[in-house]
Amino acid sequence: MNKRIVEVAPKSSMGKALSYLAGQWPKLLIFLDHPELQLDTNLVENDIRPFVVGR
């Protein structure tokens, strides 16, 4: 990934995407160290849906 960042113009869409990915990479790795963590919030959203729909 670092090699690709150097090859791409930083102001291009791909450069911005790779830069964002590089900044988020440590957070993404947490899921590899802790497989019990959910990658989404679907369970929580389903739990609160009855309260939100009733507004």
**Tens of pLDDT, residues 21-50:** 989 999 888 888 988 888 888 999 999 988
Q: Is the pLDDT higher at 55 or at 17?
A: 17
Q: How buried is residue 24: exposed, middle or buried, by Cβ count under 10 Å (0-12/13-18/19+)?
A: exposed
Task: Give pTM, 2 decimals.
Answer: 0.55
Residue (of 27, 30, 23, 28) closest to 5 by Cα position = 23
Binning pLDDT at 50, 70 and 90, where does residue 1 land? low
